[in-house]
Amino acid sequence: MPFVHVELVEGRTNEAKEKMAKEITETIHKYANAPKEHIHVIFQDMKKTDYFNDK
């Protein structure tokens, strides 16, 4: 049963995360041949102040 953890900087709507979860689920289903009902997508929002990228 695949678990996919997605960490994002806060600010995405629930609608956007739902669309992402559906696309991620479809991709895992397609390439890992896992049943969709066994795929779990977990989102974790990070505060902008808790994230740093040197770019």
Residue 31 sits in a domain whose CATH number is 3.30.429.10
Kindly give, in sequence order, each residue whose CB lies less than 8 Å from that of residue 46, ignoring residues fewer than 6 positions away: 7, 8, 9, 10
Task: Decide if 15 is inside a domain.
Answer: yes
> What residues form DSSP beta bridges with 44?
7
Residues of the domain holding 31:
3-50
2 is catalytic: yes
Residues of the chain with pLDDT under 70: none
**Residue among 2, 6, 12, 20 flagged as catalytic:** 2
Q: How many domains does the chain have?
A: 1
The pTM of this model reads 0.86
The whole-angstrom distance between residue 15's C-alpha and the CA centroid of its chain comes to 12
pLDDT of residue 3: 98
pLDDT of residue 38: 98
Task: Report d(CA 1, CA 11) in Å as an integer.
Answer: 29
